[in-house]
Structure 1
Amino acid sequence: MSQHDTDGRVSVYAENIGGISQCDVTFKPGVNVLRGRNATGRTSLLNGLAGVLGGTAPVLKGDEQEAEVRLEFNGTTYDQQYTRKNGTVQAAGQPVTERRDLVDLFVCLTAENPARRAIVQDGNLRDVIMRPVDTGSIQRRIEDLQSERNRIGQRIRAIEDDLDQRTSLTSRKTTLVSDLDECDQEIEELRNQLEQFDADPEEAEEIEQALTSLEERKQELESITNRIRTQEDTREALRDEQSELQTEREAIETSEEELKRIETRLSELTSRERSLATTINDLSAIVDFNEDLVSNADSDLLRSGDAAESPVSKLNPMSETVECWTCGTEVERNRIAGRLDDLRDLVDEKRTERSEVQTEIEELRESQQELQEVIHRRDEIGQRLSEISSEIAQRDQTLESLSEEREDVHQRLSELEEFVSEREALQESELTEQYQQLSELEYQRGQLEEELSAVREELAELDRLENERDQLQAQQDEIQAELVSQRTQIRDLEESAITAFNDHMEEILDVLRYKNIARVWIERKEGAEFNSSHGGYRGGSATKFELHVVRETDEGRGYEDTVQSLSESEREVVGLVVALAGYLVHDVYEVIPMMLLDSLEAIDADRIAALVDYFADYAPYLIVALLPEDADALGGDETSVPHKASPANPT
Structure 2
Amino acid sequence: MSQCAPGDVVTIYAENIGGLDTSEVQFTPGVTVLEGRNATGRTSLLTAITGILGGDSPTIKADADEAHIQIEWGENTYRQEFTRDDGEIRRTGESVSNRDDLINLFVSLTESNPARRAIMQGGDLRDIIMRPVDTDAIQRRIEELQSERNRLGQRIRRLEDDLELRPSLESRKQSLKNKLAEQGEEITELQERLEQHDADPEQAEAVEEALGSLEERKQELESIQNRIRTQEDTFEALRDEQSELQTELDALDTSESELDRIETRLSELTSRERSLAATINDLSAIVEFNEDLVSDADSELLSAGDSADSLTATLDPMSETVQCWTCGSDVQRSEIAGRLDELRNVVEEKRQERSEVQSQLDELREKQGELQDQIDRRREITRRLNEIEAEIDRREADIADLKEEREAVRERLGELEEFVAEHESLQESELIEEYQQLSELEYERGQLEEELSTVRENLAELDRLEQERDQLKSQQQEVREDLESQRTQIRDLEENAISAFNKHMEEILGVLDYENITRVWIERKAGTEFEASHGGYRGGSATRFDLHLVRETDDGKAYEDTIDNLSESERNIVGLVVGLAGYLVHDVHEVIPMMLLDSLESIDSERIAALISYFAEFVPYLIVALLPEDADVLADDYAYVPAESLIS
Q: TM class by shorter-chain length? A: 0.7 to 0.9
Identify if the C-alpha distance between structure 1 residues 482 and 611 changes in structure 2 by more than 3 Å, giving closer, same or farther.
Answer: same
Partner of 2:16: 16
Partner of 1:83: 83
Partner Cα distance (1:291, 1:83) in 2: 31
What do the CA deviations read for 1:88-140 (whole angstroms, capped 9, x no partner)? Answer: 44444554444332221111111221212233343332232233334444444
Identify if the C-alpha distance between structure 1 residues 552 and 330 changes in structure 2 by more than 3 Å, giving closer, same or farther.
Answer: closer
Partner Cα distance (2:385, 2:368) in 1: 26
Structure 1 residue 122 and structure 2 residue 122: aligned?
yes
Identify if the C-alpha distance between structure 1 residues 246 and 26 changes in structure 2 by more than 3 Å, giving closer, same or farther.
Answer: closer
Contact 1:139–1:537 (CA under 8 A) maintained in structure 2 = no
- SS across alignment from 1:547: strand
Partner Cα distance (1:173, 1:483) in 2: 44
Partner of 1:36: 37
AA of the residue aligned to 1:641: A
Partner Cα distance (2:175, 2:274) in 1: 79
Partner of 2:449: 449
Contact 1:33–1:626 (CA under 8 A) maintained in structure 2 = yes
What do the CA deviations read for 1:40-76 (whole angstroms, capped 9, x no partner)? Answer: 4332121012222332221111142221223455576
For structure 2, which runs of at least 5 residues remain unmatched after alignment? 294-302, 314-318
Alignment of 1:617-628 (within 5 A): 617-627=617-627
Partner Cα distance (1:323, 1:174) in 2: 101
Identify if the C-alpha distance between structure 1 residues 239 and 254 changes in structure 2 by more than 3 Å, giving closer, same or farther.
Answer: closer
Alignment of 1:221-232 (within 5 A): 221-231=221-231
Partner of 2:380: 380
Partner of 2:461: 461
- SS across alignment from 1:599: coil
1:347 CA displacement:
4.4
Partner Cα distance (2:233, 2:458) in 1: 20
AA of the residue aligned to 1:274: S
Partner Cα distance (2:540, 2:202) in 1: 88
Partner of 1:204: 204
Contact 2:107–2:583 (CA under 8 A) maintained in structure 1 = yes
Structure 1 residue 491 and structure 2 residue 488: aligned?
no
What do the CA deviations read for 1:129-156 (whole angstroms, capped 9, x no partner)? Answer: 2333344444444444444444444444
Identify if the C-alpha distance between structure 1 residues 509 and 143 changes in structure 2 by more than 3 Å, giving closer, same or farther.
Answer: same
Contact 1:40–1:641 (CA under 8 A) maintained in structure 2 = yes
Structure 1 residue 274 and structure 2 residue 275: aligned?
no
Partner Cα distance (2:537, 2:337) in 1: 46
AA of the residue aligned to 2:217: R
1:214 CA displacement:
1.4
Partner Cα distance (2:469, 2:273) in 1: 54
Partner of 1:49: 49
Range 432-441 or range 560-569, more displaced: 560-569
1:350 CA displacement:
2.2
Range 151-160 or range 232-241, more displaced: 232-241
Identify if the C-alpha distance between structure 1 residues 509 and 266 changes in structure 2 by more than 3 Å, giving closer, same or farther.
Answer: same
Partner of 1:184: 184
Partner of 1:433: 433
AA of the residue aligned to 1:36: R
Structure 1 residue 107 and structure 2 residue 111: aligned?
no
Alignment of 1:243-258 (within 5 A): 249=248, 255-256=253-254
What do the CA deviations read for 1:283-307 (whole angstroms, capped 9, x no partner)? Answer: 98899999999x99xxxxxxxxxx9
Identify if the C-alpha distance between structure 1 residues 49 and 313 changes in structure 2 by more than 3 Å, giving closer, same or farther.
Answer: farther
Contact 2:550–2:559 (CA under 8 A) maintained in structure 1 = yes
Identify if the C-alpha distance between structure 1 residues 279 and 339 changes in structure 2 by more than 3 Å, giving closer, same or farther.
Answer: farther
What do the CA deviations read for 1:517-571 (whole angstroms, capped 9, x no partner)? Answer: 4432222233246432677699999643332334456665545554445444433
AA of the residue aligned to 1:506: E
Partner Cα distance (1:274, 1:318) in 2: 43
Contact 1:263–1:368 (CA under 8 A) maintained in structure 2 = no
1:361 CA displacement:
0.9
1:369 CA displacement:
0.8
Partner Cα distance (1:610, 1:205) in 2: 113
1:354 CA displacement:
2.6
- SS across alignment from 1:12: strand
Taking only the aligned residue pairs, the percentage that are identical comes to: 58
CA RMSD of aligned residues (A): 4.6
1:447 CA displacement:
1.0
AA of the residue aligned to 2:35: L
Partner Cα distance (2:40, 2:286) in 1: 11
What do the CA deviations read for 1:473-498 (whole angstroms, capped 9, x no partner)? Answer: 44444444444444444433322211
- SS across alignment from 1:449: helix
- SS across alignment from 2:643: coil
Partner Cα distance (2:463, 2:277) in 1: 66
Contact 1:59–1:286 (CA under 8 A) maintained in structure 2 = no
Partner Cα distance (1:398, 1:430) in 2: 44
2:7 to 1, 5, 8: 5
Partner Cα distance (2:82, 2:383) in 1: 52
Contact 2:527–2:537 (CA under 8 A) maintained in structure 1 = no
Partner Cα distance (1:380, 1:565) in 2: 65
Partner of 1:420: 420
Contact 2:20–2:41 (CA under 8 A) maintained in structure 1 = yes
Q: TM-score, normalised by structure 2?
A: 0.80
Contact 2:42–2:646 (CA under 8 A) maintained in structure 1 = no
1:409 CA displacement:
3.6
AA of the residue aligned to 1:441: L
Range 394-403 or range 619-628, more displaced: 394-403
Identify if the C-alpha distance between structure 1 residues 592 and 19 changes in structure 2 by more than 3 Å, giving closer, same or farther.
Answer: same
Partner Cα distance (2:62, 2:261) in 1: 36
1:210 CA displacement:
1.7
For structure 1, which runs of at least 5 residues remain unmatched after alignment? 297-306
AA of the residue aligned to 2:271: R
Alignment of 1:266-415 (within 5 A): 267-268=264-265, 270-271=267-268, 274-275=271-272, 319=321, 332=331, 339=339, 342-343=342-343, 345-347=345-347, 349-381=349-381, 383-384=383-384, 387-388=387-388, 391=391, 395=395, 398-399=398-399, 402=402, 405-406=405-406, 409-410=409-410, 412-413=412-413, 415=415
Partner of 1:304: none
Identify if the C-alpha distance between structure 1 residues 442 and 408 changes in structure 2 by more than 3 Å, giving closer, same or farther.
Answer: same
Equivalent pairs, count: 627
Contact 1:324–1:331 (CA under 8 A) maintained in structure 2 = no
Contact 1:117–1:575 (CA under 8 A) maintained in structure 2 = yes
1:368 CA displacement:
1.4
Structure 1 residue 508 and structure 2 residue 505: aligned?
no
Contact 1:3–1:592 (CA under 8 A) maintained in structure 2 = no
Partner Cα distance (2:34, 2:287) in 1: 23
Q: TM-score, normalised by structure 1?
A: 0.80
What do the CA deviations read for 1:349-392 (whole angstroms, capped 9, x no partner)? Answer: 32552354134313421331133214423553455356446645
Contact 1:88–1:275 (CA under 8 A) maintained in structure 2 = no
Identify if the C-alpha distance between structure 1 residues 441 and 419 changes in structure 2 by more than 3 Å, giving closer, same or farther.
Answer: same
Structure 1 residue 220 and structure 2 residue 220: aligned?
yes
Contact 2:31–2:624 (CA under 8 A) maintained in structure 1 = no
Partner Cα distance (2:428, 2:225) in 1: 31
Partner of 2:549: 549
Identify if the C-alpha distance between structure 1 residues 469 and 92 changes in structure 2 by more than 3 Å, giving closer, same or farther.
Answer: same
Identify if the C-alpha distance between structure 1 residues 218 and 279 changes in structure 2 by more than 3 Å, giving closer, same or farther.
Answer: closer
Contact 2:593–2:619 (CA under 8 A) maintained in structure 1 = yes
Partner of 1:641: 643
Contact 2:273–2:357 (CA under 8 A) maintained in structure 1 = no
Partner of 2:586: 586
